[in-house]
Amino acid sequence: MTNADAATAASILTIDLDALVANWRLCAAQAGVEAAAVLKADAYGTGAARVGPALAAAGCTRFFVAHIDEGLALRAALAQVLPEAEIGILNGFMRGTRRLLIEERLAPVLNDEGEVREWLAISADLGQPAPAYLHIDTGMNRLGLALADLTNLAASPEMRRHPWRGLISHFACADEPGHPLTELQAGRFRQAAALLPGTPLSLSASSGIFLSPDYSLSFVRPGAALYGINPQPSRPNPMAPVVRLEAKILQIRDIDANESVGYGAAHVARRPTRVATIAAGYADGYPRSAGARGSAWAGETALPILGRISMDLITLDASDARTLRRGDMVELLGPHRPVDQLAEDAGTNGYEILTRLGTRYQRRYIGRSAATGA
Ligand SMILES: *Cc1c(COP(=O)(O)O)cnc(C)c1O
């Protein structure tokens, strides 16, 4: 537990670090090669300062984040458990960050030809190769070197001599089995790899790992799957649930048929209804777009969501849960309502649900792995 105690908690976010570690092991087993771990956006909202040490204690040695600031925070969090951890910065190297990157041994993922040339100049200046990755864009057209850029660069001996920590690329459609872009990207990646023989290669993130081991190469880079998101939405989810969100019932009231509930009178009761109002809302990252969709859960009883989601409150149909009392907790996310289900109800994906979870919840880390980094 991090702050205050259960009595003061309006809502509790529980993160099961053993489940997370098990998911990382499953990714590595499925891929058959080293699994790095992607902890950008504060470990997809679950708390990099706790997730990093738990994974390091389990044997993970390579991590990726998006921003340099995230890398610095992770370096500090890993100082006791694994000071030599490799931390890659996906967003690359920006002017004015050289000293920090070198001192804190953060390895930028270089995305741009100019960026690569600057990094080679820095290495020449230091008299030793500064650690970095290369990112080649094979069809996402978002971030990364074009194949032509890499071809230009590979003409220089310093480029070919540099011991790159890895050459990576990222799939656009690996969550859709059979999508033609995946093989096209893999083919372009093989062409790029041929320009820098001996460089470790990495192509798959969560979806790629569970699409095919053909894309495992030297190491894989799971993010979403670690946190329990289904890497292949068209198949049953092999990942263990990591996040559980519960909120406290603030009030229970009985309303007559034809009474309305909440803003916009958006829900009108068809029958006499017991309404439970709970302490969570869109200010906590519960999506407003999931109003009137899906259910919260009290044990095995579904409590359908009634009407609109308010800033701090959600209203539930508790007619079938007569034993519920003010102060009881109900489940909004967890084994009965997986992240992917809430995402579907909200018209988004699990990534957005997790990364928007607010800071208002009381956070608890459970599992034996929670002993590290506490
Ligand atoms: C975010 C990201 C990952 C992790 O992707 P998931 O789908 O969350 O597994 C891996 N590699 C790169 C380059 C990324 O940006």
pLDDT band at residue 7 using 50, 70 and 90 as cut-offs:
confident
Residue 281, ligand 1, Cβ within 6 A: no
pLDDT band at residue 4 using 50, 70 and 90 as cut-offs:
low
The answer on pLDDT for 1 being more than 60 is no
Ligand 1 centroid to Cα of residue 205, in Å, is: 5
Confidence at residue 289, expressed as pLDDT on a 0 to 100 scale: 97
pLDDT in tens, 252-262: 999 999 999 99
Ligand 1 centroid to Cα of residue 161, in Å, is: 28
pLDDT-above-70 percentage for the chain: 98
DSSP 242: -
Cite the DSSP H helix spans in the chain: 17-31, 40-44, 48-57, 68-77, 98-103, 113-126, 147-153, 157-161, 180-195, 206-211, 339-346, 350-355
Ligand 1 centroid to Cα of residue 85, in Å, is: 19
Residue 138, ligand 1, Cβ within 6 A: no
Q: For residue 205, which atom of ligand 1 is closest to its CA?
A: 9
The answer on pLDDT for 191 being more than 50 is yes
Give the separation between CA 289 and CA 188, rounded to whole angstroms. Answer: 39
Cβ(40)–Cβ(235) below 8 Å:
no
pLDDT band at residue 250 using 50, 70 and 90 as cut-offs:
very high
3-state secondary structure of 246: strand
Confidence at residue 131, expressed as pLDDT on a 0 to 100 scale: 98
Confidence at residue 123, expressed as pLDDT on a 0 to 100 scale: 97
pLDDT-above-90 percentage for the chain: 94
Give the separation between CA 233 and CA 3, rounded to whole angstroms. Answer: 35
3-state secondary structure of 280: coil
DSSP 288: G
Ligand 1 centroid to Cα of residue 38, in Å, is: 6
Looking at residue 269, its amino acid is A
Confidence at residue 372, expressed as pLDDT on a 0 to 100 scale: 66
Give the separation between CA 160 and CA 48, rounded to whole angstroms. Answer: 34
Confidence at residue 358, expressed as pLDDT on a 0 to 100 scale: 84
The answer on pLDDT for 198 being more than 60 is yes
Mutate to test the pocket of ligand 1, among 23, 24, 26, 90 (most ligand atoms within 8 A of CB): 90
- Which tokens hold the place of 34? 């080293």
pLDDT in tens, 232-241: 999 999 999 9
Give the separation between CA 234 and CA 363, rounded to whole angstroms. Answer: 31
3-state secondary structure of 102: helix
pLDDT in tens, 91-128: 999 889 999 999 999 999 999 999 999 999 999 999 99
Cβ(51)–Cβ(75) below 8 Å:
no
pLDDT in tens, 149-179: 999 999 999 999 999 999 999 999 999 999 9
Residue 206, ligand 1, Cβ within 6 A: yes
Active-site positions? 40, 263
